[in-house]
Amino acid sequence: MAGMESPSDVSAGLLATVDDAAAKLASVPDSVAARVPAPGSWSALQVLGHLIDSAANNHRRFVSARSQDDLVFDGYDQDRWVEAQDYEHARWSELLVLWSAYNRHLARVMAATPRDVQLREHRRHNLHDLAWQPVVEGAPVTLQWFFADYLGHLRHHLRQIGDLVGRRVG
């Protein structure tokens, strides 16, 4: 887990990323956000919806991890979540506000998690299945690493959104 950001850096990095992206994406027209680049691909609206779903699922995981002896969490079917919530017909500005607020809240959750809880190593986890950058099953991992993985995933998809709408983001 070398090269890991400090606990406060992850929270601050999330806030900075959200503030930067929200400012750059605020003026994207709904018609641009709704464009699907190819059959079977997601529009920027759907990618942003996926990031909201990721925030919701990870919110539960981050809070639960404080009282668990492991980092084992339920997964979710991201394609079904995006479809079920009809993101492709949502207003861009509304999704952007929801995504921004939810991630600011997650930054607060991260910052409020005690340092010893963030840095406690766990060998029992399923991050080999759930994390954006999977960890070897049974390898020691911390909640703080999972926070940083969340931020990496978010930045990855913001770059994807930027490519879809013609803006440099992430």
Q: Which of 1, 7, 4 is nearest to 62 (CA)?
A: 7
In angstroms, rounded to a whole number, what is the distance separating the alpha carbons of residues 36 and 30? 12
Q: Taking the model in full, what pTM does it have?
A: 0.94
Mean pLDDT across 47-72: 97
Q: Which residue type sits at 126? A: N
**Residues composing the chain:** 170
Residues 82, 155, 71, 139, CA torsion sign: positive
- With 0-12 CB in 10 A as exposed, 13-18 as middle and 19+ as buried, what is 12? middle
pLDDT of residue 1: 43
Decide if pLDDT at 5 tops 60.
no
In angstroms, rounded to a whole number, what is the distance separating the alpha carbons of residues 76 and 47? 16
Q: Which of 132, 159, 129 is nearest to 145 (CA)?
A: 132
pLDDT-based confidence at residue 70 (cuts at 50, 70, 90)? very high
> What is the DSSP annotation of 22-85?
HHHHTT--HHHHT--SSTTPPPHHHHHHHHHHHHHHHHHHHHHHTT-SSB------HHHHHHHT
pLDDT tens-digit map of 29-38: 999 999 999 9
pLDDT of residue 3: 41
pLDDT tens-digit map of 108-146: 999 999 999 999 999 999 999 999 998 999 999 999 999
> 7-165 has which CATH code?
1.20.120.450
